[in-house]
Amino acid sequence: PKPQSCIESHKALHDGHSAMFRLEDAKDPDPQLSRLLKDVETTTGFSGTLHAYYGGGNSVGFLAPHTDPYDLFVMQIEGTKQWRLCVPSSNTLQVKHLAAGLFSAEQARLVELCEDPAGCKTFPRQSLDQMLCTTVTTTAGDLLYLPRGIVHSVQSRTGSVHLTIGLKAGRNIWQEFIAKGAETVAGSEHAKALHAGMRGLLDSQPKGQPKPNSISKSQSEPKSRELERNFKE
């Protein structure tokens, strides 16, 4: 049962339970946390959320392994936490083919787009054993970036506090961030050209097409034969 008073809450935390505080639900939010979120939103140009998590000693996060519908930045405030980060797998052959050669974050986003576009999907803990996973430990002062679509679960062996800021970006957060950055330089012809180029790059990449720097074998062979012929001559 959920604690019904401050005394019950304090006892639950002392017994090793975890707790979450959501800034958007607070009637009288902490001004420092509000300022932090506002500064991040102003700097990045994205709206965001801020959650604070407390984990008691030897506690497993009260949330099951899951993905979030946006990119996350985790700031460890006190104690240590162990994160298990996994790339979700897919049983769809088409998705497996498209994911070949992509970075882990790109693979995770691709699986999410194809199988769970809304994000925020939970996974049984035993299913993580079938995924590509890594373990990361954060200590006070560390900053951890979690791309959207990465499955994550948390365990704390000591009392631990961390903040999580989620940024609600449209598509790829870093492409959008660069494009928005170009817009902030008012009156700059260089910025306008950069912005136009970035927008053109985003809009001109059909899904499933080779990357600009990729060359197929059939494309490279004629050039190789030409170079070999010139060398012999």
CATH architecture for residues 6-170: Sandwich (2.60)
pLDDT of residue 22: 85
Within the chain, all domains assigned CATH 2.60.120.650 are found at 6-170
Rounded-to-integer distance, Cα 84 and Cα 135, Å: 5
Q: For residue 220, what pLDDT is reported?
A: 43
Q: Which amino acid is at 197?
A: G
User: Inter-axis angle of helices 173-183 and 189-203, to 10 degrees?
Assistant: 150
- 39 CB-near residues (< 8 Å, 6+ apart): none
Please give the DSSP secondary-structure letter assigned to residue 189.
H
CA angle, residues 125, 129, 130, in degrees to nearest 5: 115
Residue 48 CA to residue 25 CA, distance in Å, equals 14
The dihedral sign for the CA sequence 103, 112, 160, 157: negative
Chain centroid to CA 111: how far? 14
Beta bridge partners of 54: 19, 161
Which pLDDT value is given to residue 83? 93
Q: Per residue of the chain (233 residues), give pLDDT as tens.
A: 666 677 777 777 777 777 788 888 888 888 999 999 999 888 888 889 999 988 776 666 667 888 888 889 999 999 999 999 988 765 544 445 444 555 555 555 545 554 555 566 788 888 888 888 899 999 999 999 988 888 888 888 778 899 999 988 766 666 666 666 666 655 566 666 766 777 777 666 555 544 444 444 444 445 444 434 444 44
Instruction: Supply the pTM of this predicted model.
Output: 0.63
Yes or no: say if 102 and 146 are a contact pair by the CB < 8 Å rule. no
